[in-house]
Structure 1
């Protein structure tokens, strides 16, 4: 059961908008816990890929439901484990991200993972980032932010991240993938991606990380 006395800052937004970087920084500066909700879906995606399961198959979907209901995921410091195996790096692959987006549109899977996300509400406070943190997971959040940027800006950021990790990357392919994910996320039947009621919309296309972090903290202090 959630402790509603623990404050939550919910930061939602599209893929590669920078919400993870911002949420992590804000959490550290405030001394709060941090939830990367997308990581949970990516862990499920890695598990699905490892088992050769795809949501378009009815028989596979039943297996995915069972997998999501008992997903052996652990968060230890800055590392993420699936069944005791460190998957911190593998969940950040483009393949895992694309599969996570496909899984996230399925209501039954979202339901299984909902409580796991809410369990992060502990300690002095929580900063959570995702797609529906303010609308579904933590509707009573003290501050709700919808962080966005143009598709081109987000694609360029993702392209730089991949290059810096030593991975090959095609900007045009990344842009097309982001646009496809945006379409899936905004058009899904359950918790579609959009600013929820009461959210502060922040376009960070032309803002530095420090500027965004300071803006979010200022809004929170006024909330």
Structure 2
């Protein structure tokens, strides 16, 4: 089996992680959810009162970065690695609307990005990896053999995210989720350090009207043609 680097970038709630997990399982590749890493740092900042709706003490978080250890531990029942923060499984805690409301602000910080990009590049040095995020094809792995950029309308993405959160028992409104999606889009595309942009050699996939299996087959065909 050929071993390449597959970089999947795109807007929030486009199903990047779902697609990446499918590909990794099918190909026997390592899967890395970089969004979970930024969410874990955000959760750490929240737990230490560095960020809340009243403000953000960026310098305090930067000073504490050396105290943050992130690892993925494989869950055989799920078929992928779960996010651990300083030895604690935080997979559920990092998926809340509260974390979503702050994560783009944390991801703007250059020192945070530098720390995580270094770890991500180390994870993928031997190829055979599927990594999804915002800057995988542009910053983390600019030489990736297959780059995908996923998009869909904000309305469609908010509906998907809303239904996902309802299924988990979260008490949220659709308007709240849509506002969060739109705010994250703006911050992700306007930040100074590694803004969300499509790499010149990436293949754009608008999955507004594609099923999970349809988009999986599209990308698998691209892989097979490399």
What TM-score results when the alignment is normalised by the length of structure 2?
A: 0.91
* Aligned counterparts, 1:37-186, within 5 A: 37-54=34-51, 57=56, 60-77=57-74, 78-121=81-124, 125-186=128-189
| Maintained 8 Å contact 2:62/2:111 | yes
Residues 1:141 and 1:124: Cα distance change in structure 2 (over 3 Å): closer
Aligned pair count?
Answer: 217
Q: Which secondary structure state, in structure 2, belongs to the residue aligned with residue 201 of structure 1?
A: strand
Tell me how far apart the structure 2 counterparts of residues 222 and 66 of structure 1 sit (CA, whole Å). Answer: 46
Return 122-131 or 14-23, whichever deviates more: 122-131
What TM-score results when the alignment is normalised by the length of structure 1?
A: 0.92
The aligned residue for residue 8 of structure 1 is 5
Unpaired runs of at least 5, structure 2: 75-80
Counterpart of 2:206 (choices 203, 215, 222) is 203
| Maintained 8 Å contact 1:68/1:113 | no
| Maintained 8 Å contact 1:33/1:123 | no
What's the CA shift string for 1:55-96, capped at 9, x where partnerless? Answer: 965xx3222123334421221113222122221100111111
Aligned-pair CA distance for 1:51: 0.5
When the two chains are superposed, the root-mean-square deviation of aligned CA atoms in Å is 1.7
Q: Which secondary structure state, in structure 2, belongs to the residue aligned with residue 119 of structure 1?
A: helix
